[in-house]
Structure formats: structure tokens, C-alpha cells
Chain A
Amino acid sequence: MVRDISPALRVTTLVLAAITYVAVEVASDRDGIPSIFGLTFGSILFLIATVVAIRVGSPKNGQRLPRWLSVILAGLLVGPLLVEPLLRNWFHVGLPLELQLVHGLRNLGIGFAALAVWPLCLRMAGVVALFNILFVSAMGDQKPIPYLLTLWAAVGSLWLVLFHASQWREAASAQDVVVVRRAALRFPLGPLLVFGTLAILAGMVALVGPRRIQLVLGEWLPTSGGTGDYDPFSRGGVNDGDEETAGMNAQATGFVESDLFLDSPDPALYDAVSDMYGPPKSRQRQLERMLALGKADVRELPGRPPDNKRPSRDFDTLRQGPKSPRKPEDQPARSLFEIEGRTPIHLRVEVYGQYEGGLWQTAERRVWSKRFEREDDSSWMRPIQRDPLPQYGPTEFHRLKIATLKGALIPTPPLLERFRVGRLNRPDFFVWEFDGVLRMDGRKTIPSGTIISTESFTMAGESLGKGDFAFLGDWVSADLRQAPTNYRQLAKEWAGDRPRGWAQIEAVIDRLRGEFTLDPEAVAPDDCPDPVWHFLETKRGPDYMFASATTLLLRQLGYPARLVLGYYASPQSFDRVTRHTPIRRTDLHFWSEVLLRDGRWLIVEPTPGYEVLRPRRPWFTTIKAAVVASAPTLTVLAGIVALLWWRRRDWLDWLRTARFRVAPGPTWREQVLHCLWLMEQRGRWAGLGRPPQQTLSRWADSLPLRARADQDWNTLVQLGEWAAYSDQATPPVMPNEIEQVCRRVVHHWTIRRFRKMPRTRYGPRLAATRTSDADLPLERSGE
């Protein structure tokens, strides 16, 4: 005797499942903040589960869980696996495989809790909740986890008490009723299957070898390491993600957010600059007479000193151009570093302020007494700066994964709000190399494998007003105001009568992007006194010319501007496999920046083909753009789906007919019923289906005369009654004749034939006497 599950126990099961859901959701996020999607889905799921739990009645004695509910439970389990590709493709978010599985179990737990009226579901809800919470306790280190575990333990204890109380009541009541069930003698199919599987596995181990089996089994577990597959959303597995296991040797391990740093003897950024743009030309006119020093003041070097050892790190716009075509595949490494996050993005490395005679001099270094402040107990550092302008868009999160980057400069995105380098939690580890360019203090290099997380504002220039730009006041360095006077007339000409603000800047940008050509090979002649002016005349040059011209022209228009060297992460470089953007040496780029009222620098990108990261569009705009972008594919898919839907009955009927032809059924009874079912489906699709309250013969009689006159058809209907309602093992006619009749009916009574039948109303239910079975046209096998 099975007692009803008490409402208190069912409610507790639901609450337990809900807590488990939240705990898994919290543990799934790095920062312990459940995703909006997860919470929304969970709320809907919980709501549905509550409604189901209220509406579903207690099962009758011995009633098993309906099969369709099992299908829904299976759907809850595999749902996250099915949705994952869509989330990754459409929203660029995802979960590692093990978390997908745990999420499936989490959903399954709620499903079981909703169906806790079945004792099996009740027990399974408890088991699944326990498994999930063990996972959370083992894997989650977020702040809310201990509180959730405590809450779960309390509710779980209550659940156990209620569960055992119900068991005790059931046992007590069962003493009154003694049910003796005869053990059914069945073929032990299940144990045989298990035994057979184990035997096959043992054979495989014997053939292939245990070591090989171990490796294969290991590959089934993504976090066990060594699978060889790459999943950008994996966490913590060797070779399985962007963050890999930390080790003592930072060069030998993958990316890791740790405070493990090693010095590297690799050359600095300036070799890369020379490689990219060619070494600077010697300036004859700048040679000055030099006095020989004494031997004590001279230190001999074995060879020519590298560029980075030069006393000045200024940038000379008079350069020779690259010596040889540069190909990415010539690079020894894939990239200097990789960026995870939205692109395009500019990353500053070097800033130039004063321009004189074609020579950009590095900007002055700025030092604050307190440069950064640390956020709470985390390793996030927040620069001390003025409040941001209200026009800024939402922040963007990027992660820079250092591969072979040289030097201690940290590629810094514009409008930086906060950053984190591994788990370094001391603000004095960082300094401003320039205004807006970070550097690790006291270090020569950033070790490979370091992950730098940044959060920076996005900005749409056209949203800025006139007063949002800084003026060339006293607080602005003189370097940022300095520009040759011969640029003034040109700047005013280009700006025209546009009002001060973004409109003037846009005018300069539009002119350069529209009328000038990007040509990395174009260099100024050796005797050119001002290469930038030469560029403005020839309207052809590399990107630093575009940036230089913009900077100088904007200065003449009254905007504090500067030239910036850095890396440009192009969306075209995005690697869809790794979902990262690799940054190579060839991604070095120059651009210009304008100082805003809050002390931050706004990127001005004058070079054709380069864009600035704009605020993220709303999700519906993103979806709309994605739909528009994939319109041809979607159209074809929609066409295929529409075609399949339109002809769904035909191809479903074709499949069912093929199934009948291949396997009509092992016995005559199943063959007949299979054939009848097929006919009923065809009739239903043709609008002549059998209502569930109608008998077979009535349905057959209700069909048009053409069907009733068909001998095979009538025989099939009568055979159907024999098959359905007679428990005789012996068929009424010879079995081979039955099969022939079925095949003939399936062949002749196609769905098209049903469709061509005139629609008739069903006859009266209690109609006249039907045809006697004595008229069965086939010879009986028993006679």
C-alpha cells in the first residue's frame, strides 16, 4: 500500500530544489553573481513546477510515472546541452561541459520536486539535490556559498525528518495489510545486458590495454586534463581553456590569474616598433659636434646598441619604412597577447606629447601620490580620477592574456575604470607610465601567462557636448597644446563653420578618412623638414601620419590632443575557434586622443579601416543585426522548415510506411493493428480520422462507399477486431494471407487516396446492425 506524500514534504522538496538551483547558479559564476538568464529561467521553471505540483494528483495505487513525463524530465536534463550552442553563437556566453551537466541535473531536480507525489520522484529529487549541493560545496568559493549551504542544510534536515516520518507512517499502516505478490518469472534481460556490457568492456581492456582505456576514459572528463580539445569556456583544465593550471614555471604553464611572475630577457617594445615601421633615418641636420670623452667615461659595447637602449624613447616620424614584407606567419609566436572581449579596441602603450620638426617626443610621465585604490578585498584596482561624464556608455570587460609581450607596460584600454592583474592586490605594484598607460612598477616584463582584466567605459563621440572637452587651460601640459602654426589655417579650413566640439573633430576625421590613403610604404623624403605636412600635401602615408596630422590639427583647433601608440584589436582578427582576438606585432597602431573635461582621453581614429569601440547595442538590436547578417541562411532554413511542415504528413507517412514495410510486427495480431493504426493516421491527416469514442467498424462504415466496397479494407477492419478483442492465438485466416492483406491495404489506401475521398459526416452512433462476421470473405484457418 502506497500512502500519499504529505503536502509539507512536497513543499520542502520544492524549496530544497529551489535553494539548490540558486546555489548552482551562484557557483557557476566566477564572481558569485547569478546570471539574469539563469535566474529568469529558474524563476519560470520554479513557477511551472509549483503549478504542476499543485495540480498533479496523487497517483493511484501502483500507477507508474507516465511516459510523457519521463520525456519531459529527460528534456530538462539535456536542455542545457542543447541550448549551449545557441548561447555561444548568439550571445557569446557559455559554460564548460561539466557545468552544463550540473545545470541539467539542477533542472532535473526541480522536475523531480514538481512530481514528488510519486515516491520515486521524491527520492530522486533528494538524491539530485544532494549531488548538486555537494558539487557546489566542492567547486564554489564565492561569498554567498556558505550561507546557501547553511540554508540548504537546514531545509535538507527538515526534508529528511519529513521523509522518514512518512516512511514510518507507511510502515505502520502497512502492518494492517499483508500483500503477497507472486514473483513473476521473467527473462533476466537487464542483468544479461549489464553482464554483456561488462564482458565487452573487459574484452576491450584486454585487447587495447588498460593504459589506453584509461586515456580514453580520461578524455570524457573535460576537467581531468589532457583531452586535447579546446573549449574557451572551460575552467581550470590543462589544455582545456584560456585559464590553465597554475604551476611553478610560468613559462611552461598556461594563462593563470596568480601572482607568479618571472623576469624575461626578451627585447622590449621598441624592437617591435622598428620592425613595424622601420628604423628611423639619421638626421644629418641634427648632428652636433661631439667632444671625445675620457676612457673612464666610455663603455664599449660588443655590437650596435638596440633601440631600446637609446637614451631617448622619442618617436621620429622620419623613418625608412619596413625593410621587408611582413607576414604574420613569419612570427615565431602566434601573438603577443590575446584579448577576450568585444573588439575593436585600442590599447595604449606609448604616448607622445611634443612635436617638433617631425619628431614626436614622449609625453611627460605623471606621478600621483596615491595613484590607485584597491576595491574591497579583491585585486581590482581603481584609478583615482574624476567622476566620469554622464555620456559614457556601459563598461566593457576585457581580458588580456599575455603571451610574449615584452616590457612592463600594460596595454591599457581608453576610459579605464578599473583593472586587475592576476591576483596582485597591492596598488603600489602599478604606476602610470603616462596618463592613461599602466606599467608594472619595478618590473622589466610581464610574465607570459598573465591575465589582465580591465573594465573600461565605451563612448560615442557624437554624444559629447561642447563643454565636455577640456580647454587649453593652464592645467593642460604645454606639450599638448604645441603645434606648428602653419597647421592653423588648414585646421580652420577643414573645421569650417562647424561648432566647437565633436563636430569639428569629426570634420577632421572625415577629411582624413575620406581623402587620404593609408599607405604604409609611403615615407617622406630625407630632406623633408616636416614629414606630417608632407603627408598632408601628398595625402598618402602610414597610420602614424594620419594620427600625427589629426593631433596637430586638433591642437590648432583648441583641443588638447596627443599621439598614442598601441595595439589595435581588429574584429577581423577574431578567432572564432578560440573566441579570442590575437594581437601580433603587426597590430601596432597609432591614433590620436583628445582630452575630455573629466581628465580622460577620448580616442580619435583618423586612419581608414580602423574603428573605435562603441557602446554595446541593446540585445534586440544585436539580435536584429544577427538576423539580418544571417538572413540568407535563415531564409533557406525557414524555407526548408516550412516545406517540411507543409509536407509533414507526407514524409511522416512515408517514414511510417517504410517502418511498416520493414517491420510490420512479429505476430499476426501486431501486424494487423500496426496496419490499422497506419490507416487511422492517414485518415486523420485526411480529415477522416476516427474519433476516440468511435469503434473500428463504425469508423470504417463512416468512410465513403468506395472504401466500404473494398474487400481488402473490410477484411482488414474485421481482422482488426479479431486482433484487438479476441484473445485467441490462432488467427482467423492464414497468417501469410493476413500479411498480404495488410500490405495490399497499405499500398492501395495511400494518404492521397484518403484525401480524395469526399468528406462525410459520421453516421449515427447506434446505427443499424452492422455486417456479420459470417461474411468474412476469407477462408477461416480453423475450418
Chain B
Amino acid sequence: MTTLSAISPPTPTLNSLRDALNSALRGKPEVVERVLACLLARGHLLLEDKPGLGKTTLAKALAAAVGGSFARIQCTPDLLPGDVTGFSVFNQQTRLFEFQPGPVFADILLADEINRATPRTQSALLEAMAERQVTVDNVRRPLSDTFFVVATQNPVEHHGTYPLPEAQLDRFAMKLSVGYPAEDDEQAMLAAAVGRLDGQRIDWPTILAPGELLQLQTQTAAVIVSPPLHAYLTALAKASRDHARVSLGVSPRGLLTWQRVAQAWALLHGRPFVTPDDIQEVAEPVLSVRLQVETDIALLVREILDSVPVPVYPS
């Protein structure tokens, strides 16, 4: 059994990480919190929002903060799978084929406007996101231990796009919308940009030491989830499957992701165990990437949460 001292939350480290991201993405602490939860849960993130809201900035700052490498793919219809995974090139000197790793081998991968890539290219990301490895020329090549995909897509423009298949959507831990910042935050942003050249590289601070992210992720996986909460999660999953307006409910893989994200949420709040609050807090971003509904996802999630009683007392 995990003891209290072993699960002691690394609050200072996480607070620093939180501050760094909040300084990169002003006025969006709740988005930052969920991004961190997604990172600690070893999930992948789908950002769906309009252009120019700081998605790339957030990804870059995140990569810098966790001390990893950052790569970006601008997805277009002519993007090939090899452009993502890498390819072998014949070396005239060594007379051997040498593998040139693609951007997928970075620690943080930003797949910008992923829905503009063809399904063939999108599926190239499937193995990488699910199994943290790629197979090129029948050779399996493991990715970084802290491989984290931040994909973006534009909800407005649908011409020339290829909607992500449900199998691929299920590989994302959560879907977030950044949203427009508040006026105060926009004014602060403007004030900070005065005197800085356009396109000038910003050096985001590095917070985590090498290997520290993996340690945090290991601690996240060890956060306690009591049996009543297992029952609560399965009841919620069943409620999502039985809901009249949901065509495809939460899959068992999605349920595992929900639990991991809830564990991360608990760790982010300095708790060595998950509470129903954690499950409810992360319900909307986790479910919104999985439940294909036309209407307001927040309302739907609320209906699902309201249909299942919260376990408090032992039965």
C-alpha cells in the first residue's frame, strides 16, 4: 500500500511549471491546469480553437518548461507519413541506409491543424500516440518517454479538411479550447510586446530537470483511486453509453484515460488520492473528445454527471 510519505505531492515543482505556462498563456489558468493534467497523465492534447489564440505559444512554452525538445508539423494535404515519422536515406559514404528521424521523435510535438493532413498521414500518428513508437522500414523505433502530442484544429474552416476518425480521437486524452483572453490580459499582453521585435524568439524558462517529468508521471500513476470511485467511473461510462443523445459512449480505453487524468488532477492539487471532484472536474475535456454530439457538450456532460450519485459513505 502506498504510504503518505511516498506520495507526498511535489507542489513547488508543479507550481513553478504552472507559473511558467501561465506567464506564456496569459489569463488562462484553467487551460494551463488541464494541459498539465494531460501531460502528467501521459495523454495527448487536442486544442480546438480559432487561429491566433496562443496554441503554438503554449506548446513551445510547455516544451521548454519540461526541458524537452520541441517539433512542429504544419499539417497540409500533401504532408506524407514519412514527413512525420522520418525516413531512411542512402549514405554514399557508409554505403548504408541511415534513418532520418522525423518530428515525431521530439519530446513535445505540435501537429498544427491536424485535420488538414490526409487520413494516411493522420494514421501515421496513431501508432506513435498509442504505443509511443514508430515502425519505419519494418524497424520499430521507440519515441521519447515523455512524448506528448499537442494537436490543433480549426473549428471554423472545414473546407479541405479531413475530420479525425473516432479511433484517432480516442487516442487523445482531452480536447480543450483556449478561448479569447480577457481584456485585462490582452492589455498586459500588448504591454509586454512593446519593444520586442516581431518573430523574435522568446526563451521560455526550463523548469524540470531531465527525467523529472517521467518521475512526475510515475507519481501520477500511483495516486490512489478507491474501489467506490471505480464503481463511480464505470457508472458514469455506462450513463454516457445509455444517454439518448450519445451515439458512441466512453470506451474502456477512454475510461482508463479518464481515471489517469483524474489522478493527475488530484496530484496537481496536492492530494494522494482521487476524489469525485477530480473526476467531475476533468469530465468535460475528457468526454468532449469522445462523445460525438451536435449540441452543447458541457450540458451533456452535466446531464451525465447528474445521473449518477456520488459515492461518499460505504454501502
Residues of A within 8 A of B (CB): 673, 676-677, 692-698, 720-722, 724-730, 732, 765-766, 768-770, 772-774, 780-783
A695 to B276, CA, bound (A): 6
Contact A770 B270 (CB under 8 A): no
Smallest beta-carbon distance B230→chain A, Å? 11
For the complex, is B309 an interface residue (Cβ under 8 Å from A)?
A: yes
Q: Does B306 contact A (CB under 8 A)?
A: yes
Docked-complex contact A766 and B298, CB < 8 angstroms: yes
Instruction: For B309, list chain A residues within 8 Å (CB).
Output: 692-693
| Smallest CB separation, A522 vs chain B (Å) | 82
The stretch of B2-10, B124-132, B133-141 in contact with A is: B2-10
- Contact of A695 with B3 at beta-carbon distance under 8 Å, contacts A726-B272, A766-B284 already known: no
With A724-B313, A725-B229 as known contacts, state yes or no: A765 contacts B270, CB within 8 Å.
Answer: no
Chain B residues in 8 Å Cβ range of A697: 275, 277
Whole-angstrom distance between the Cβ of B185 and the nearest chain A Cβ? 16
With CB as the reference atom, state the residue of chain A lying closest to B270. A774
Q: For the complex formed, measure the closest distance between the CB of A376 and the CB atoms of chain B, giving whole angstroms.
A: 62
Closest 8 CB pairs of A and B: A692-B309, A782-B4, A774-B270, A726-B273, A695-B276, A725-B226, A773-B271, A772-B269
Q: Known pairs A692-B309, A698-B277. 5 more at Cβ < 8 A?
A: A693-B309, A696-B310, A722-B273, A725-B228, A766-B280
Contact of A695 with B269 in the complex, beta carbons under 8 Å: no
Say if the beta carbon of B167 comes within 8 Å of chain A.
no
- Which residues 4-27 of B have a CB within 8 angstroms of A? 4-5, 9, 11
> Within 8 Å CB of A729, what residues of B?
1
Report the Cα distance A769→B29, complex, angstroms.
10
Q: Which residue of A lies closest to B281 (CB)?
A: A766
- In the complex, per-residue mask of B277-302: 1 if CB is within 8 Å of any chain A CB, else 0: 10011011000000000000010011
- B228 and A728 contact, CB distance less than 8 A: no
- Chain A proximity mask over B257-277: 1 for CB below 8 Å, otherwise 0: 000000000000111111111
Q: Let me know if B48 is at the binding interface, CB within 8 A.
A: no
Residues on B with beta carbons closer than 8 Å to the beta carbon of A727: 1, 224, 226, 273
Whether the Cβ atoms of B270 and A725 lie closer than 8 Å is: no
The dominant DSSP class at the A interface is: loop
A677 and B273 contact, Cβ closer than 8 Å, known pairs A727-B224, A728-B4, A766-B280? no
Given contacts A724-B226, A726-B226, A728-B1, A693 and B308 within 8 Å (CB-CB) = yes
List, in ascending order, chain B residues with CB within 8 A of A732's CB: 4
Question: Which of A694, A725, A768, A770 contacts B274, CB < 8 Å?
Answer: A725
A726 proximity list for chain B (CB < 8 A): 224, 226, 272-273
> Is B307 an interface residue, CB under 8 A from the partner?
yes
User: How many Å lie between the Cα of A766 and that of B33 in the bound state?
Assistant: 14
Q: Does B311 contact A (CB under 8 A)?
A: yes
Complex CA gap A673/B228 in Å reads 15
A693 touches B11 (CB 8 A): no
Query: Given A724-B313, A726-B273, do A693 and B306 touch, yes or no (CB 8 Å)?
Result: yes
Chain B residues within an 8 Å CB radius of A693: 305-310
Interface size class of B (residues with CB under 8 A): 35 or more
* Closest A residue by C-beta to B15: A774
Q: Does B192 contact A (CB under 8 A)?
A: no
Q: Which residue of chain B has the shortest Cβ distance to A696 in the bound complex? A: B312
Partner of A765, one of B273, B280, B314: B280
B301 cross-chain contacts in A, Cβ below 8 A = 766
Contacts of A773 in B (CB 8 A): 269-271
Chain A nearest CB from B10 CB (Å) reads 11
Would B11 and A774 count as touching, CB distance under 8 A?
Answer: yes
Minimum CB–CB distance from A511 to chain B (whole Å) comes to 80
In the complex, per-residue mask of B217-241: 1 if CB is within 8 Å of any chain A CB, else 0: 0000000101011000000000000
Q: Report B272 CB to chain A, min CB distance, Å.
A: 7
Asked if B274 and A730 sit within 8 Å, CB to CB, the answer is: no
Q: Using known A-B contacts A732-B4, A769-B269, determine if residue A721 contacts B275 with beta carbons closer than 8 Å.
A: yes
Expressed in whole angstroms, the Cα–Cα distance for A780 and B270 within the complex equals: 13
**Residue of chain A at shortest CB distance from B273:** A726
Counting CB contacts under 8 A, is B183 at the interface? Answer: no
Q: Which residues of A contact B302 (CB under 8 A)?
A: 765-766
Task: Give, as a whole number of angstroms, the nearest-CB distance from B95 to chain A.
Answer: 59
> Is B30 an interface position by the 8 A CB rule?
yes
Nearest-neighbor residue (CB-CB) of B271 within chain A: A773
A residues in contact with B274, CB < 8 Å: 725
Contacts of A720 in B (CB 8 A): 312
Q: A728 vs B271: C-alpha distance in the bound complex, in angstroms?
A: 12
CB-defined contacts of B314 to chain A, threshold 8 Å: 673
Mask: chain B, 237-250; 1 = CB below 8 Å from A; 0 = not: 00000000000000
Instruction: Report the minimum CB–CB distance from B74 to chain A (whole Å).
Output: 34
Expressed in whole angstroms, the minimum distance between the Cβ of B17 and any Cβ of chain A is: 15
Closest to A765 in B: B302
B5: A residues at CB distance < 8 A = 782-783
Residues of A within 8 A of B269 (CB): 769-770, 772-774
Q: Which residues of B contact A673 (CB under 8 A)?
A: 312-314
Determine which of B1, B9, B33, B275 lies in contact with A695 in the assembled complex, contact meaning CB atoms within 8 Å: B275
Query: Most chain-B CB neighbours within 10 Å: which of A693, A721, A725?
Result: A725
Interface centre among B9, B226, B280, B301 (most CB of A within 10 A): B280
**Cβ contacts under 8 Å, A780 to chain B:** 4
